[in-house]
């Protein structure tokens, strides 16, 4: 499940996270590497300067594109010190600033420490500095506090870093992309007579500890189009009867059989009904039938050239 989530996050931010088109990313490797347009790179015993040029896109460029804001104290052409320890400390400060900025916008990242966003070599330098400070009982600032010091093995750090960067991107999506979902017409979504007896999904901020108001708006939209279109899409279905009414309350189990998403796509591309959706199982029970439906849905998306790299 985590790997599928990571792949979905990587694909979305590659396609839509940047200005001027696509920018392939890898989590966490390119995000950790491309933190500055001018970056210092260690090569065994000597340190040298590597200039990535104007076309290098950093996580700060991504945030500026999605939020319209620059992080406090960080410029679009940030450079790093030549000294490896000073470089690591500045990166740690930049990551701390990034996390503080996201939290101020409503992101939930209490489990992500700035050091988890560092490169492995810089993380080791961070641990070494913290250990020396602990032994010497030096308390210069919050940056040097050993209160939350986690000493991780290499393989565990890589896993933690991958998870941390994935969660950062998910929270970026939550606070800067999902709020663009309009709720101005949410009162009209249940205007159909057939939906009057259907339970409502509350949009109040505190009505769910799982989904945000914007996510619940999307669930309402899914319910509306499924109920409106299920009888139209599958009135001539080849593999069953018209699917029954359902209440869609989550983004995993309720979407597994492909029917809900097919109903959404049919609402905007009704010509796909005769060519694709009539061949779906309307009451799938076996893994093969679920796969059959999902393959048809993916083929329908490819038929209308949806720019999303979806694989089954």
Each residue of 213-272: pLDDT tens digit? 778 888 888 888 898 888 899 988 877 788 888 888 888 888 999 999 999 999 888 999
Supply the pLDDT for residue 68: 87
Higher pLDDT pick, 199 / 118: 118
- The answer, yes or no, to whether residue 291 has pLDDT greater than 70, is yes
Supply the pLDDT for residue 196: 53
This prediction's pTM: 0.61
Q: What is the mean pLDDT of the chain?
A: 80
The two tokens of residue 21 are 């088109």
Supply the pLDDT for residue 164: 94
Share of the chain above pLDDT 70, in %: 77
Q: Per-residue confidence at 312, pLDDT binned at 50, 70, 90?
A: low
User: In which region does residue 83 sit, left (phi positive, over 0), alpha (psi from -120 to 50) or beta (all else)?
Assistant: beta
Helix intervals (H) in 17-153? 29-33, 59-67, 84-104, 120-135
Angle at 124 between CA 121 and CA 125, to 5 degrees: 90
State which of 103-112, 134-143, 160-169 shows the largest mean pLDDT. 160-169
Note if the bond before 28 is cis, omega within 30 degrees. yes
Angle at 209 between CA 205 and CA 213, to 5 degrees: 35
Higher pLDDT pick, 16 / 206: 16
Higher pLDDT pick, 245 / 169: 169
Supply the pLDDT for residue 72: 82
Higher pLDDT pick, 73 / 255: 255
Share of the chain above pLDDT 90, in %: 32
Q: Is 185 helix (H, G, I), strand (E, B) or coil?
A: coil
Q: What is the pLDDT of residues 13-57, one digit of tens each?
A: 998 999 888 889 999 898 888 876 544 444 433 343 444 445 678
- The answer, yes or no, to whether residue 4 has pLDDT greater than 50, is yes
């Amino acid at each position: 499940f985590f790997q599928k989530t990571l792949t979905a996050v990587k694909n979305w931010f590659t396609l839509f996270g940047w200005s001027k088109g696509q920018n392939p990313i890898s989590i966490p490797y390119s995000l950790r590497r491309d933190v500055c347009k001018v970056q210092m790179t260690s090569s065994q015993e000597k340190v040298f300067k590597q200039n990535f040029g104007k076309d290098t896109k950093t996580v700060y460029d991504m945030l500026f594109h999605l939020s319209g804001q620059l992080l406090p104290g960080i410029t679009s052409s940030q450079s790093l010190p030549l000294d490896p320890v000073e470089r690591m400390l500045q990166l740690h400060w930049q990551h701390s600033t990034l996390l503080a900025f996201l939290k101020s916008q409503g992101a939930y990242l209490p489990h992500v420490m700035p050091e988890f966003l560092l490169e492995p070599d810089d993380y080791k330098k961070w641990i070494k500095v913290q250990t020396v400070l602990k032994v010497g009982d030096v308390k210069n600032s919050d940056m040097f506090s050993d209160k939350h010091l986690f000493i991780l093995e290499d393989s565990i750090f890589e896993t933690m870093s991958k998870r941390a960067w994935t969660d950062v991107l998910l929270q970026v999506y939550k606070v800067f992309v999902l709020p663009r979902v309009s709720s101005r017409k949410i009162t009209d979504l249940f205007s159909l007579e057939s939906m009057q007896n259907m339970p409502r999904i509350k949009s109040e901020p505190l009505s769910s500890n799982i989904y945000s108001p914007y996510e619940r708006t999307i669930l309402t939209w899914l319910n509306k189009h499924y109920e409106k279109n299920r009888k139209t899409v599958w009135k001539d279905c080849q593999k069953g009867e018209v699917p029954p009414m359902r209440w869609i309350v989550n983004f995993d189990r309720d979407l597994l059989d492909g029917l809900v998403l097919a109903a959404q796509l049919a609402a905007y591309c009704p010509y796909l009904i005769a060519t694709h959706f009539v061949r779906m199982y309307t009451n799938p029970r076996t893994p093969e039938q679920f796969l059959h439906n999902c393959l048809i849905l993916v083929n329908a998306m490819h038929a209308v050239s949806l720019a999303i790299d979806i694989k089954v």
